[in-house]
Amino acid sequence: MALQATSSLKYNHGTYESPYFRLVLHLSINGNETPVDCVMYSSKEDYTDNAVPITVLPFYIANQELSASNNADGVVNKFLLEVTKRTKFLLEEMFSGVTFEITGIPLEGE
């Protein structure tokens, strides 16, 4: 699962043109929230080339905030999609004026 910024993003003292964020979920300790490491790379190519990431942003997604709907046509895992959507929302809140698109969600038949 991944998110791609659709414009430039300022982080610390740098500006990155459309950085790539890879999401790494961890097991929940208490079942109330899902820990997510949002690993930031300057590009998808940097991720695929095993470059050192820029940073890792930790998020804790409250499970009760996730949609109870099962409507996710074509998606292999609805839970992953919901966590990714919530992480996208939190990133857009953190980086005002920057939008993100969801990429890398496993789809049925792939």
At 67 the pLDDT is: 63
Q: Which pLDDT score is estimated for 12?
A: 93
Q: What are the residue ranges in the chain where pLDDT is below 70?
A: 66-77, 108-110
Count up the domains in the chain and report the number. Answer: 1
Strands 14-17 and 100-103: unpaired
Q: How far apart are CA 106 and CA 55, in angstroms?
A: 24
* Contact present, 58 and 71 (Cβ < 8 Å): no
Say what the pTM is.
0.86
Does residue 110 belong to any structural domain of this protein? no
Owning domain of residue 82? 2-103
Per-residue model confidence (pLDDT) at position 4: 97
109, part of any domain: no
